[in-house]
Amino acid sequence: MSLEFSKKLAAHETPIPGVVLYDLPVHGDNRGWFKENWQREKMVALGLPDFRPVQNNISFNEKAGTTRGIHAEPWDKFISVATGRIFGAWVDLREGPSYGAVFTAELDPSQAIFIPRGVGNAFQTLEDNTAYTYLVNDHWSADAQGQYTFLNLADETAAVRWPIPLDQAELSDKDKAHPRLADVAPMPAKKILVVGADGQLGKALRAQYDGDPSVEFAARAEFDLTSADSFRNRNWKNYAAIVNAAAYTAVDAAETADGRAAAWAINVSAVANLARTAIEHNLTLVHVSSDYVFDGKQASHDEDEALSPLGVYGQTKAAGDAVVSVVPRHYIVRTSWVIGEGNNFVRTMASLSRRDIEPSVVNDQIGRLSFTEDIAAGIQHLLESGAAYGTYNLSNEGGPQSWAEIAADVYELSGKPRAAVTGVSTEEYFREKAAAPRPRNSVLNLDKIRKSGFEPRPAREALETYLGMTAE
């Protein structure tokens, strides 16, 4: 069979999600032919995942009719033919709605196919002296054998139409003994690891992903971000993403000697450990940031504004953002005035209203509340939607308010008069108190998260729901 020379590099989707067939340009003359079998820059631009291959394997098959598979390994593969011609068959053996989907195609040296982790791969040679190449993104090891998933080549459900009947083909005894589809244990999806899962955001993420076995939660007792053992004693090949819900948030205490050290340990050094792990294992890292990375002098803060923190807490959050920004696959989710399950401003105001206390509340700091339920939903959206990596502002929607106005809303929704709340300046409120400097304007521009397809819930609606759920 003669090759078609000078095809354009092109991608073709298949019925199996993530399996993409590629036409490869082959250049030939009287001497033979040459091709770029793997060209990262061009192929990534065409949409091929930058799967960072680490090993290249070649299967040489002396005779036509040699048949191998159906094997699903716990890594991605980029497959092509070096010489000869094959009939390839691929079966989705991953957990999920496409389980059991089948795609077949004949491949010669002018084609290649990307096979994601968990998709079963098989081929039958159609010519003598056929060489089949695999470019893979993990090192083969005997330890990985227990993570393989296999399907019988003759499975009646997949019903692959082999050009050469299997009873006339060359098969191994192992391949003949593989189970039918009904008896195959599907390969589970890679996991998302949520660290800091005992905090306000961690609890909201638990609720957001309730019942999803692909999301694993680790409180500090299960995963200590400051301990090297936490990172060494985990098989990161089984994970796709880490969500960092841990942070040191004691803004005023961070100005003390002990607080400063603790803030840098959690918000910077531990984040550096997460970033290093994400880079080494090609994971997506989701990191939660804060309005405190800004000095509050802008009317509205967008994602590209230069960092200008005022106090130690803000400085550590800004440093953490800078660390995470070097991870190729990252989402920095910047929030403001976080409210969730635990001690927070709204709970405090609700408690004061029930006791008929008339508080003095700061009225010259402006921003929007960010409810953890909505932050968790936004994180899930970014991970599942394929949104471009980078920084996203995420608070609830609505007009900017001062803390005093929010307190008055809480009183009003609790059946108490708004006038029970007295507004005071930041200087007056913190007079004779040790306090960190705070940004006066914490309003985050939400255009980017909206353009990604996520619509933040109005803050007033979220506040009403929250007070209804937390009422005693």
Q: Spot the catalytic one: 12, 22, 27, 71.
A: 71
Q: Note the pLDDT of residue 78.
A: 96
How far apart are the C-alpha atoms of 98 and 120, rounded to whole Å? 13
How far apart are the C-alpha atoms of 289 and 286, rounded to whole Å? 10
Q: Note the pLDDT of residue 255.
A: 95
Please state, rounded to an integer, the average pLDDT across all residues of the chain: 93
What phi and psi values does residue 175 have, to the nearest 5 degrees?
-65, -35
Q: Where do the domains of the chain lie, and which CATH numbers do they carry?
A: 10-183 (2.60.120.10), 191-470 (3.40.50.720)
How far apart are the C-alpha atoms of 240 and 245, rounded to whole Å? 16
* DSSP 3-state of 320: helix
For the stretch 264-316, pLDDT in tens is 999 999 999 999 999 999 999 999 999 999 999 999 999 999 999 999 999 99
How far apart are the C-alpha atoms of 307 and 294, rounded to whole Å? 6
Q: What is the DSSP letter of 276?
A: H
Give the residue-averaged pLDDT of 50-61. 90
Q: Maximum Cα–Cα distance for the chain, whole Å? A: 94
Verify whether residue 71 is a known catalytic residue.
Answer: yes
Length of the chain equals 472
How far apart are the C-alpha atoms of 75 and 111, rounded to whole Å? 21
For the stretch 372-413, pLDDT in tens is 999 999 999 999 998 999 999 999 999 999 999 999 999 999
Give pTM, 2 decimals.
0.88
- Under 8 Å between Cβ of 248 and 292: no
Give the residue-averaged pLDDT of 141-145. 57
Q: Spot the catalytic one: 134, 292, 331, 466.
A: 134
Q: Note the pLDDT of residue 34.
A: 85
Name which of 456, 289, 453 is nearest 387 in CA terms.
Answer: 453
